[in-house]
Amino acid sequence: MRRRSTTAVLALTALTLLTLPGCSSDSPSPATPTPTGTAAEPKAAVDDARPAKVLTPTQLRERLLNEADLGQGYTRKPERDVSRDDVTVIGCPALEKLGGDAAADGSLNFPNRAKAAFTYTGSADSEVTEELYSDTATRLSTGTKQIFDAMVSCPVYQVVVGSTPVKMATQKITAPALGDEQWSQLLTFTTGGRDSVVKQTAVRTGTLLVIVSGSPGLVDTHVDKALAKAGSPS
């Protein structure tokens, strides 16, 4: 058992969507329905967006989606300081092992990163979070694969955030056919007798990694848009 393993941060990122007031990702989403398992065809603009150089945090911040990109009804949220939360993983040795000695600060353990979270107000309150990372293609590929493989290797485990225990169930699902590599999973959180579901999709294209988390419908709607903007020069 380790505190704040870097591999637990994917779960923590999704978990923050559920622990803040006004967020209920198990509510029906007004966005496009989730695909039924057939990967979407990659779009030409996304296929061509393969950065060859490692991007700086400033460049990544400029490539994040904003309210204008997302459309009417989205409001950007202040970023939560998750570094103040003690996070412990229980019952998943693969996650504990990958934690190592790295000190996570609320993001994955890649050097250059940027993040934005949005609330959508429609027929239900939902949220979507975008994270951008940049490193060599090899490091991004190896690190992300290890993390997603470790999480889906433990169908059920527990994450304790502060003093709050949360039961987690992880299911690997088909990722959209975007970029050079793709990963996708559904995370089901049980706390206080209530189940909530968050989808996470990660796409690597060149030296760029895009992770979109949140209500399944919102993730499906915006992941290709996030990748297209992130991979294009500002």
pLDDT at 36: 32
Domain spans in the chain, listed from the N-terminal domain onward: 6-33+54-230
Q: Which band of pLDDT confidence, cut at 50, 70 and 90, is reported for residue 84?
A: low
User: Over 80: is that where the pLDDT of 231 sits?
Assistant: yes
Helices (H), the chain: 9-19, 44-47, 57-62, 67-70, 93-99, 137-152, 216-230
Domain range 6-33+54-230, CATH architecture: 3-Layer(aba) Sandwich (3.40)
pTM: 0.78
Given CA atoms 33, 228, 214, 152 in this order, what sign does their dihedral have? positive
Kindly state the helix (H) or strand (E) to which residue 212 belongs, with its residue range.
Answer: strand 208-214
| Interval 21-64: pLDDT, tens | 333 344 333 333 333 333 333 343 444 456 779 999 999 999 99
| Interval 108-157: pLDDT, tens | 678 899 999 998 886 555 889 999 999 999 999 998 998 888 888 989 99
The string of DSSP codes covering 71-94 is: -TTEEEEPPP-GGGS-EEEES-HH
